[in-house]
């Protein structure tokens, strides 16, 4: 069985093509700058060289068409016919309260995805466009929606309710939804395999640290708390997002800076976080280099970033009443021993003791980085959201 996994953004389309017999990645790529004159695509067949070429992609339909030509007709082709594609799996950011699992896409599901536009205006419309484009270019091929929020639908009410008037929940569905659920679920499953223990017996904290960051408390395979909220803005400090702040700051800025709702949204989502504190960049690699070069603001950004992670780790150990493992993943979590060390510093009394040599050695690969005497294991596990989407798509197709 072969699965095409798609992740559609406003001006981009990422794709990965899997053979699920051995869960093998056959090809992957991206179409960037859709609708712009400078549009280009990258395509890589497993074991081959990546190619990058300019292209014409006026919309997602033409981008999907280009992907199919690369998979079937170019010198880099990997299939001979559309019928070799058993199913298409789509990343959909927001599923609201309606979706607690992945679903086979039909007209009703499409309408429900549209209803979530208001909660994810930067993501769901593009995810929707990708699905509709596939219906035109690949008619008859089953499609599955895999929601970022679905894994966190197991949160208990005390974890997802905000202390706002109840009417705002019933009228606008304002509550904690959480995101990065596909990544957190994959990491939990893989951690159980690495520990050789049943997932339904484990208490885990998973830290997804990239340009967007979130942390989840997972008990017996279910998410019971997570740092992102109604939107991906809440929680940890991120590349350009502020994370947790006092809500009164917003009314203060609206009063004294006369800032509009649109500008406020831009400030919190695109001008804050690591970028806002450092005044330099949202890229953690550059921040670490700047710290080494003596930049005080880069050091402040780094300290705030890691301190927030540490606070969440400690609080989730309390929520879970102890943990079996703490896991780091995503671009920063997988590649930065410094971030992991600072985030775990002085948590020995809570059962977390790193092995400095192991921590320094494990970069962009799986590994245990805790001391042999550490009550809780600390691991690095590279995430694979695309494979998780492919697995979910096969499971849904099999069920239906």
Instruction: Please say whether the beta carbons of 6 and 30 come within 8 A.
Output: no
The CA distance from 92 to 182, in Å, is: 10
Among the listed residues 81, 107, 112, 148, the single catalytic one is: 148
Query: How far from chain centre, in Å, is Cα 121?
Result: 17
148 annotated active-site: yes
| Residue 69, token pair as written in the block | 């030509």
Q: In the chain, which ranges are continuous DSSP H helix?
A: 60-72, 107-115, 124-137, 157-160, 166-172, 181-195, 248-256, 261-270, 273-278, 284-292, 296-320, 330-335, 337-344, 356-361, 385-399
Q: By the 8 A CB rule, do 329 and 382 touch?
A: yes
Long-range CB contact pairs, 271-276, < 8 A, 24+: 271/240, 272/240, 272/241, 272/242, 273/237, 273/238, 273/239, 273/240, 273/241, 273/242, 273/243, 274/237, 274/238, 274/239, 274/240, 274/301, 274/305, 275/239, 275/240, 276/240, 276/242
Measure the N-to-C terminal CA separation of the chain; round to a whole number of Å: 15
What is the distance between the alpha carbons of residues 196 and 27, in angstroms, rounded to a whole number? 31
Q: Distance between CA atoms of 286 and 278, rounded to whole angstroms? A: 10
Rounded CA separation 99/150 (Å):
6
CA distances in angstroms from 330 to 175, 327, 380, listed in the order given = 26, 10, 9
Q: How far is CA 214 from CA 149, 298, 328, in A?
A: 12, 21, 11
What is the DSSP track for 290-325? HHHTT-HHHHHHHHHHHHHHHHHHHHHHHHHTS-SE
**DSSP letter assigned to residue 105:** -
Structure tokens at 286: 């550059």
The three-state secondary structure class of 360 is: helix
Residues identified as active-site: 148
């Amino acid at each position: 069985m072969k699965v095409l996994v798609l992740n559609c953004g406003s001006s981009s389309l990422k794709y990965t093509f899997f053979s699920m017999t051995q869960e093998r990645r056959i090809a992957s790529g991206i179409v960037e700058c859709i609708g712009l004159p400078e549009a280009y695509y990258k395509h890589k067949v497993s074991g081959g060289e990546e190619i990058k070429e300019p292209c014409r992609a006026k919309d997602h339909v033409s981008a999907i068409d280009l992907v199919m030509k690369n998979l079937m007709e170019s010198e880099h082709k990997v299939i001979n016919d559309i019928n070799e594609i058993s199913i298409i799996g789509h990343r959909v950011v927001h599923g609201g309260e309606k979706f607690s699992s992945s679903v086979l896409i039909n007209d009703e599901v499409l309408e429900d995805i549209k209803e979530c536009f208001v909660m994810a205006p930067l993501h769901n419309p593009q995810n929707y466009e990708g699905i509709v484009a596939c219906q035109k270019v690949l008619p008859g091929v089953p499609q599955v929606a895999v929601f970022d929020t679905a894994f966190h639908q197991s949160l208990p009410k005390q974890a997802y309710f905000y202390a706002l008037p109840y009417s705002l929940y019933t009228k606008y569905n304002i509550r904690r939804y959480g995101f990065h659920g596909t990544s957190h679920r994959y990491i939990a499953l893989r951690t159980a395999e690495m520990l050789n223990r049943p997932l339904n017996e484990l208490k885990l904290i998973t830290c997804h640290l990239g340009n967007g960051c979130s942390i989840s408390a997972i008990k017996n395979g279910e998410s019971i708390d997570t740092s992102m909220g109604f939107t991906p803005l809440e929680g940890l400090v991120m590349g350009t997002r502020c994370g947790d702040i006092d809500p009164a700051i917003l009314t203060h800025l609206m009063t004294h800076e006369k800032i509009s709702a649109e500008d406020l949204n831009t400030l919190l989502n695109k001008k804050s976080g690591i970028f806002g504190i450092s005044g330099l960049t949202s890229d953690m690699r550059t921040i670490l280099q700047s710290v080494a070069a003596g930049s005080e603001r880069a050091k402040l950004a780094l300290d705030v970033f890691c301190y927030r992670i540490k606070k969440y780790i400690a609080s989730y150990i309390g929520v879970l009443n102890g943990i079996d493992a703490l896991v780091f993943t995503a671009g920063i979590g997988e590649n930065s021993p410094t971030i992991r060390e600072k985030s775990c510093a002085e948590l020995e009394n809570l059962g977390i003791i790193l092995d400095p040599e192991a921590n320094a050695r494990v970069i962009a690969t799986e590994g245990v980085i805790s001391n042999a005497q550490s009550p809780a294991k600390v691991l690095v596990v590279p995430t694979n959201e695309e494979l998780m989407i492919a697995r979910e798509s096969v499971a849904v197709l099999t069920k239906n």
